[in-house]
Amino acid sequence: MVQQQKRILIIDDNPDVTLSLRVALEQNGFKTDSYTNPALAYENFRDGQYDLVLLDIKMPEVDGFQLYQKIRKNDSRIKICFLTASEFYYERFRKERGFGEFKQESFLKKPIQIDDLIHAINKLMGSG
């Protein structure tokens, strides 16, 4: 099924992860941009440019939670999906930071199968 050219921004400090996600998403009809440097990603971020951000949590200098807060100040409508190797982050995020808006589905555990990723993205964007 070909997507309606939804734009996804991928931010993960691991170049192998960003490349594999980008290739898989583009093969499934999404338009993507990716960054391995969170500061550079934020510097180039523009309101309304993306439908979804796939955001790694554990990155050097600026973690995914901090970057989320910066992005949210520029674009209050964008969907955010965190990528993590740990389930602990979901509860920590909700309790310590008071972000009750996020459901468990907004946190995807790495590694993730491409079919599961596409399904999760479609669900988050309301198209599946």
Mean pLDDT of 116-120: 91
Q: pLDDT value at position 100?
A: 53
Give per-residue pLDDT as tens, 2-58. 445 899 999 999 999 999 999 999 999 999 999 999 999 999 999 999 999 999 988
Euclidean distance between CA atoms 41 and 109, whole angstroms: 22
Q: Residue 43 is part of which domain span?
A: 7-124
Torsion over CA: 98, 81, 108, 56 (sign): negative
If one counts the domains in the chain, the total is 1
Q: pLDDT value at position 66?
A: 86
Whether residue 93 lies inside any domain: the answer is yes
Whether residue 50 lies inside any domain: the answer is yes
Give per-residue pLDDT as tens, 84-105. 876 655 556 555 555 555 555 5
Number of C-beta neighbours around residue 32 at 10 A = 19
Whether residue 61 lies inside any domain: the answer is yes
Buried b / exposed e along 48-66 (16+ C-beta atoms within 10 A): eebbbbbbbbbbeebebbe
Mean residue pLDDT of the chain comes to 83
Share of the chain above pLDDT 90, in %: 47
Whether residue 46 lies inside any domain: the answer is yes
Whether residue 2 lies inside any domain: the answer is no
Whether residue 113 lies inside any domain: the answer is yes
Give this prediction's pTM.
0.84
Residue 22, domain CATH: 3.40.50.2300
Whether residue 67 lies inside any domain: the answer is yes
Euclidean distance between CA atoms 97 and 29, whole angstroms: 34
Q: Higher pLDDT residue, 83 or 34? A: 34
Q: pLDDT value at position 101?
A: 55
Whether residue 1 lies inside any domain: the answer is no
